[in-house]
Each structure stands twice: as C-alpha cells, then as structure tokens.
Structure 1
C-alpha cells in the first residue's frame, strides 16, 4: 500500500504503514481491507470496478468475487455510517464500488505513548540513506537496527523498538511530533553514505522535549570498522544520557561481530527480507552470510528462524533438523546473545521439546527483556502450552513498548485470543497478520466458532489458493503441548470445512 496519510470524517488512513485510526484509536482491519480502502480513497467519488479492486487487493491471483464482497462488508462495518446516515462505500450494481466521502491530507497518525518507567527513554530513528541507491536502503536500515540493539543492552535505558521508531522515516522530521507520539525524552537521528570500501556516518542526539541538540559526530571509517563503530556510537549516546559509568558497565553483554564485511552485508539484506516475511529470500541470504563467516552467531540464529518459517510450508522433518543445527551453532558461538537463545527456543518448540524451549526463552528474555520479537516467540510457546492468558499479558506489555510490532506478532495475539474464546477479537488480530495460508486457516476457524459460515468458507478458499493440500490433520500438526488448546483449533478447522 502506497500513498500519503489522508483524513475523511473522523478517520485517518496511513496506507504506507497500514493503519486506520478513528480519533487516536486504531481500527482493526486486515491487510486486504486496508488495501481496498486505500484504493477507494485514492479516487474519491469515482467508480472502481470489481476487477480493479480485486487486482489491487489480490494481485496476480484468481479469486472468487465473493471474497471482495466479504472484505467490503467488513470495511463498512468498521467504518460505520457517515454523519448523514449513508455508507462510506457505495455499491454500483453489477459494476463495482465508489467512495462517497471527502478526502484531504492528514498529519501523522498518533500512537499510544510509552508509559513512564523511571528510565531515560530513547528512540533511534531510521538513518537517512545518502547513497541515492534505493537498493542500499537495507544497509542504512540494518546499521540503524544494530545501533538500537546495542543501546538496548544498557539496562538503565528504555529503548523504543525498531518497528515503532521506523515509522518516522520522513526527512523533514518534526521533533515535537516524534516526542509526542513515541513518548520519549531523547531522539537519535543520522545519515549513512557508502563510498567504495569506506562508510561515512553522521549522528546526533536530540533532547526531544526541548529540541536541543546535545551531541553530534561524523565518522569516516573503513567498512570493516563498522562493527566497532556501532558499539562506539551506542556507548557515546548512553554516556550522554546516563553517564560514563553505565557505558563502561561490565554487566552489559556484547554480541560477537562478524569478521567479514560481505558476510555482514548478506546478513543485513537477509534481515531486511525477514522483516518483510520473504522467508525464501532471507534464508538464502543468511545461508550465504554464514558460508562467508561461519563464526557469526546471529547469522546462524536468523538462518534457524527462517528455516522454521519454511517448515510451516514444507512440513519436512529435515528442514527442522537443519534449523536445529543452525541454532546449536549459534549458541555454541555466543551463549550471551538473546537472539541465539530465542532461535533455539523456537526450534525446540516445533520439535515438541517444550520444557527445554521454555528454558531458552527465559534466558533470552533475561538477556534482552525489551525485545518485542523475543516476547512474541515466548508468547507463542505459552500458547502452545495452554497458557494463553499469560501469553496475552506478555503481548500487551510488549505492545506498550512497541505499538507497531512485526506483522507475525498479530498472529500470536490472535491465537491467544482464540484460545481464550474471544473469537471476534481474534479475527481482528489475525486480519492484521499478513496473507499466509495458516492465517486464513485461523480466520476460518474463528469464523466457524462464531457461526459465520459464509466468512469461514471464504477463508477456507483463500487458504487453499496458497496451499492446496490443507487438511484438518495437517493444520492440527501445530506443536501444541496442551490437548485442550489443540482440540479447540481442530474443531474450528473441521467446522470451517477443511477436509479431515
């Protein structure tokens, strides 16, 4: 979804980050619904044919017209009526649909403020890519993310997660706006330019409450010095905020850096695809990373996570064994890294070794208690163990720190709500979780338990277009340790109409 933020009535739609707000409250609409709404509001008053809308929301996919009807009905229910009692989206019989409202540009949408923690709070905004090559965007994003990770290791700081801080990619940043929306005291911004085998990074620390620039620095280094430079930048920022004593604290764990620049470059590319859930691409790039530098622990850890993602599609025990091998290698290289323990916990969960998986998740959370990705995988493990209420509490706490978590986070939350019998809320969460076969299967089960047969069948069809061999038995192969939780999902799949 592309486009500028727009407002209509009490709503603000941001197609770029995929959010719809009513006032300051997020409205739950799935990816396809938001895509359709963006297409309609981009041409207010015009008739968009059914073919145009289906091509926008299901590009390159042959679907039944009933899927569009279901999405439009869901949109109408979410939007309610206009002030004059009409519909925001009018039906043009046998042709398509038309957006009836008046659309105008809108300021940035607001998000929940981070609650006070007693710690200095800080957000690192995405560094500007000055190279002019959009293909190098992964480099500036990846380096920014690594600086965020390094800062998060200073236990006296509250560091805002990547997914929330990365919403502020606008080069004409309003510091007061970022301060208000992220609820932080300090901001870090900067730029990156790659020049042959050298890199130039400029960075500055801003007191967001006053707009005062507290510190600025420019670095010109060889590419192979980038790992030490990230540590240096994080330590300087921390020392400005908390004092040199914390920056020198021996309790701060450090990641073991890759020895090879090309390996790190492949790692950054892989991570960029991983965040977009393009797992096949990320797997190849992580594999190339560890081929070039077999000692880089996080390369092996992320390769393990990508392989678990592949296992959801191929259901091949050999894929899971490869993931286990990668996770073992990661931990052998660096047992002080939370992501390495997270990866092992994820693999062991899918191997149904739930007790050992829990030990690794607890260690991961101890090493990095603010990591929303670790929190999400830990909550998934809790769901599989029949502890959905605890899982939901973990997720809600993580959302206070990161109002824009990774997309798979909503699948985990949806499953927590499903297991608690809160099926309508589960639907809302699943609808934000992407376009994978298992998401449509979970939606089908939720609608089936709600007695909404038509919607359940539509989601079954969506699931089959992405994976043709789906059965209740296959979907029920999820690694549940709790039989009651498993039966709740299995009965939903059967009611929805999946073959046994």
Structure 2
C-alpha cells in the first residue's frame, strides 16, 4: 500500500517516505507512528492506543511520544504550532487530517476514465487565494457562439492570472465542466480552489451581456454577483470591468495599482478577433483536420488586422502542434512559416505571456533555437506565474540541462495549477522521462502510460514507455510498442533518431536513450 498526500509518498511495503523524488530519512518508530495515524485518519487516536501500537504496550514517557510526533511532523513539513497534517486534540489524542490517496502497487495510470475519477484525491488549498473560472454558459440563440463564450473566459482568466497574489486554475482544466450540472463544492475539491467564478454570455446583434457570480467553494456561499452590458466595440473594456470586479470582491484590501488592466486590447477589429477565437477553439480539438482549420482562421485574422499578435503566435503554435503529432506536410516551408509568425508576434507584443509562451515554444521546438525560445517562455512565466504550460516547457529545459529534480518540481507545479489541462500529457511525459533518466523505470512506465492514455497519438509518450520497459527488462512489451512506433514512422531508426536527440540531451543521457533504443528493437 502507498499513501499519497501533498508532495509526499509513503510506501508501506518498502517502509519508505519520499518527498517528490527524494527519500526522507525516518526512524523506524517514527515511520510506524506516521503509518498508524494515516491508516486511522478517520478518527482520533488516543495516546494509550498509540503507545500500544508503536511500543507494544511498553511503558514509555510522554516525552518519548512527543519526540516521535515532532519527528513525524518535521518529516512531512508540519509542526506542532501549525498542525497542518497532524492535529493534536487536547486530552483526546491525535489525528492525521491531510487529504490522502491510497494506491495499491505501482503508481499505474493505465486505468479506465471512471477509475481515474474515483481515485482522484481532493487537492489541498494553496497558501494564497485560489480561483477557478468555469465555462460561461452561452445564452445566445446561435449555438455557433459557443466559441465566443469560451474566448471571453480565456481573456478573463488571463487577466486574473496576472495578479501574483492569486492562484488561478488554467481555463483548459475547467473546460471539462462545460455543459454539465455541477456541485460547486465538488469543483472546489477537485481543482483545489477556494473560489469559483461562474457566469453566462448573451450576444445579440451588436450588444453583449455578461453575468457573473463569485462563490466560495468551501461553503457554497455567494460572495458577489453582477451584470455587465456593453456594445461589442467596447468588449475589451467589458472584460476589464468583470476582471477588476472579481479581484475587488476577493481582495478589498488590494491596492488598485496592483490590479493591472485585465488584458491589453488584442485588436480594435472585432472580425479579426472573432476569427482568432474560432482558431483557438479549433486548435484545442487536437486533430489534424482542426489544426488545418485553425491555421486557416489565424491567416484570416491577420489579413484583417496585421497587428494582432495573438493570432501570429497561435499560427506558430499550430505548426508546433503539427510537429509533435507528426502532421508536418512540408518541413522546410513550415519551418520558415513558424519563424515568420513567431518573430512577428514578438515584435508586436513583448508583454503578453500567452504570446510569449506560444512563440517561445515554437521557436524552441520547431526551429531548434532552444536558448531564444526558452528565454521567451521564462519571460512569460515571470509575467504570469500561473501559466501551467510555461512550467512544462521550463521543466523540459531542466531535463535538457540534466537538472532532474528541478524539472520534476516544475512539472508537478504545472499540473497543480491546471490539473485537467489538455496539455497534461506534456507534463506526464516529462515526469516519465525524468524517472527514466534516474533509473526509476517502473515509475517512468506508470507516468508514460498516463500520457499515452491521454493522447494515444503523441508518439514521444509511447517512445518513453517503450524505453522504460526496455531498461526494466520488459523487453517483449517494449518491442510491441516499438513495432507500433515504426508502423507510424517507417523511417524511424537509431542512426537518424540519436543525432536529432543530441541537440536536446546530455551525452550520458543520450547514451542511455541509445541503449534503450537497441533493446526495444529499433533498427540501426
């Protein structure tokens, strides 16, 4: 049995406590005490019961018990003053009050969706005000306006994320609640947030109305509600009003100087912005056909408004999506188009974190200009620390430089910011790669399986799964996956793959990858 809580993992079979990737030193009796409290976390455990369980009923002093309790708290980042995880109830006993997920066997992720939902633990609240913006309901008579409501939410989330005093869940993680009857308290538990903003958009002719309400997810109490009406040509000022009102409701004490404009007006031309929102909607379908549609729509957007930086960045991002999913048609032409679009996006707007991260990722992964691309992503992270996909990119950069612990920290932080993100497969694959490079092949396999489950057509996840199997001795399974990879990419072989990977990995890591390739049966 393994217990997972916060960033800790307690493996009862191995009698081992670990934090992220590091084993925490623990005396045997301290381990037993922590294990007993976690196993009995649904009730208060009395002092005498603990002594009987840990010391087999021997007579021990209160000081000895206190010493072990303090050691257990210290091991999991708790203290007697804070009592965040182990609570003392005077004259009654002790109770473990942290949220715990029980896992039997390895941390396998290859399970059905319903099983994954059941096993998903509640997330602990961050140490600063936390917020999720649910998909707004489209009240327009035209169902085609769904993209408009989604775009409004994305803009509001972007504005909220720029407040460094807020922890904001990425829009992609909240999109799973679209069109569903939901329990706000459950949303708060699943996303690990204290506040939820929900609302609706009604667009009719040249007018738009946004209604919103802010709810405290832990209690279900309504904290604020308002309605905003505007002409469409004032839509960006309307987004500012909504965003500022939400921040004001959360933080009456915040100085307005800290609440910067929700989002710079991306364009004065509403038709161009309309095309951009449609392109964004198509991009998130993650299919070859919708990728083509998204590119077409970004081109229409910049033809109408050549100054729309977000559309140029999204166009470059579309070419990155083509590359990582194997949809490239003309490599040289797409490389040139990526360079043109990404560079133009940066020329137009050096301060929009979404523009920076999309252009930066495209520059790094399509043009192989790693340092320039990563620098843009780091800049995006500095502007918006809640941008999960920026953390994934920074995590991969740490892997490239051999900083595995730092990479894992970024991957896990990104996953916490956006626990249901459609880009989660990048985080899962990154964690799998980190485990592979540090000889934790079973853990690597488990994370890679999750990535394959999320995005079966993402070949990098299948590759690292095969590599982990190969190095752990599961050669038959590795070669079955390798055969599928060669079917998808007939030209795949060690002599062509390794020189490409040499741009990204340290020599000792490249040697390990090469060895795994040979074991899994890739042709020379």
- Same fold by TM-score, threshold 0.5 exceeded? yes
Q: Which residue of structure 2 lines up, in the alignment, with residue 432 of structure 1?
A: 450
Q: Is the 8 A contact 1:320 1:347 kept in 2?
A: no
- Where do residues 10-89 of structure 1 align in structure 2 (5 Å cutoff)? 28-30=108-110, 34=112
Q: Which residue of structure 1 lines up, in the alignment, with residue 429 of structure 2?
A: 411
- Where do residues 120-139 of structure 1 align in structure 2 (5 Å cutoff)? 120-131=129-140, 135-139=144-148
User: Over residues 88-116 of structure 1, what are the superposed CA-to-partner deviations in whole Å (9 max), with x where a residue is unaligned?
Assistant: xxxxxxxxxxxxxxxxxx99875442443
Q: Is the 8 A contact 2:122 2:191 kept in 1?
A: yes
Bigger-Rg structure (1/2): 2
Q: Which residue of structure 2 lines up, in the alignment, with residue 332 of structure 1?
A: 347
Q: 1:486 and 2:504 equivalent?
A: no
Q: 1:475 and 2:497 equivalent?
A: yes
User: Over residues 230-283 of structure 1, what are the superposed CA-to-partner deviations in whole Å (9 max), with x where a residue is unaligned?
Assistant: 121111111111137544437668434122223222222322333332344433
Q: 1:258 and 2:267 equivalent?
A: yes
- Where do residues 74-473 of structure 1 align in structure 2 (5 Å cutoff)? 110-117=120-127, 119-131=128-140, 135-169=144-178, 171-243=180-252, 245-249=254-258, 254-278=263-287, 279-312=291-324, 313=326, 314=328, 316-350=331-365, 351-405=367-421, 406=423, 407-433=425-451, 434-436=455-457, 437-473=459-495
TM-score, length-scaled by structure 2: 0.70
Q: Is the 8 A contact 1:339 1:374 kept in 2?
A: no
Change (3 A) 1:412 1:223: farther
**Aligned mates of 1:305, 1:419 — CA distance in 2:** 28
Give the secondary-structure state (helix, strand or coil) at the position aligned to 1:369.
Answer: coil
Number of residue pairs aligned between Structure 1 and Structure 2: 408
**Aligned mates of 1:258, 1:416 — CA distance in 2:** 41
Post-superposition shift, 1:226? 2.4
Change (3 A) 1:151 1:302: same
Q: Is the 8 A contact 1:257 1:296 kept in 2?
A: yes
Give the secondary-structure state (helix, strand or coil) at the position aligned to 2:210.
Answer: strand
Q: Is the 8 A contact 1:345 1:357 kept in 2?
A: yes
Give the secondary-structure state (helix, strand or coil) at the position aligned to 2:338.
Answer: helix
**Aligned mates of 1:156, 1:426 — CA distance in 2:** 34
Q: Is the 8 A contact 2:378 2:390 kept in 1?
A: no
Change (3 A) 1:171 1:480: closer
Post-superposition shift, 1:376? 0.8
Give the secondary-structure state (helix, strand or coil) at the position aligned to 1:230.
Answer: helix
Post-superposition shift, 1:304? 1.4
Q: After the TM superposition, which of the residue ranges 394-403 and 168-177 deviates more from structure 2?
A: 168-177
TM-score, length-scaled by structure 1: 0.73
**Aligned mates of 1:457, 1:110 — CA distance in 2:** 32
Post-superposition shift, 1:151? 0.6
Post-superposition shift, 1:361? 2.6
Post-superposition shift, 1:193? 2.7
Q: Which residue of structure 1 lines up, in the alignment, with residue 519 of structure 2?
A: 495
Give the secondary-structure state (helix, strand or coil) at the position aligned to 2:196.
Answer: strand
Post-superposition shift, 1:132? 6.0
Q: Is the 8 A contact 1:445 1:489 kept in 2?
A: yes
**Aligned mates of 2:490, 2:199 — CA distance in 1:** 47
Instruction: Structure 1: give runs of 5+ residues left out of the alignment.
Output: 1-21, 39-78, 80-105
User: Over residues 186-240 of structure 1, what are the superposed CA-to-partner deviations in whole Å (9 max), with x where a residue is unaligned?
Assistant: 2110112332443332111123333232222223333333222212111111111
Q: After the TM superposition, which of the residue ranges 362-371 and 163-172 deviates more from structure 2?
A: 163-172
Q: Is the 8 A contact 2:161 2:386 kept in 1?
A: yes
**Aligned mates of 2:210, 2:263 — CA distance in 1:** 21
Q: Is the 8 A contact 1:111 1:403 kept in 2?
A: no
Q: After the TM superposition, which of the residue ranges 453-462 and 466-475 deviates more from structure 2?
A: 466-475
Post-superposition shift, 1:373? 0.8
Q: After the TM superposition, which of the residue ranges 148-157 and 429-438 deviates more from structure 2?
A: 429-438
What RMSD, in angstroms, separates the aligned Cα atoms of the two structures?
Answer: 3.0
Change (3 A) 1:159 1:424: same
Change (3 A) 1:244 1:275: farther
Give the secondary-structure state (helix, strand or coil) at the position aligned to 2:515.
Answer: helix
**Aligned mates of 1:215, 1:292 — CA distance in 2:** 38
**Aligned mates of 1:474, 1:247 — CA distance in 2:** 56
User: Over residues 272-314 of structure 1, what are the superposed CA-to-partner deviations in whole Å (9 max), with x where a residue is unaligned?
Assistant: 3333323444333333332332211121112212212323433
**Aligned mates of 1:353, 1:334 — CA distance in 2:** 20
Post-superposition shift, 1:121? 1.6
Give the secondary-structure state (helix, strand or coil) at the position aligned to 1:166.
Answer: helix
Change (3 A) 1:172 1:412: same
Q: Which residue of structure 2 lines up, in the alignment, with residue 42 of structure 1?
A: none
Q: Which residue of structure 2 lines up, in the alignment, with residue 59 of structure 1?
A: none
Q: Is the 8 A contact 1:152 1:159 kept in 2?
A: yes
Instruction: Structure 2: give runs of 5+ residues left out of the alignment.
Output: 1-99
Q: Is the 8 A contact 1:239 1:245 kept in 2?
A: yes
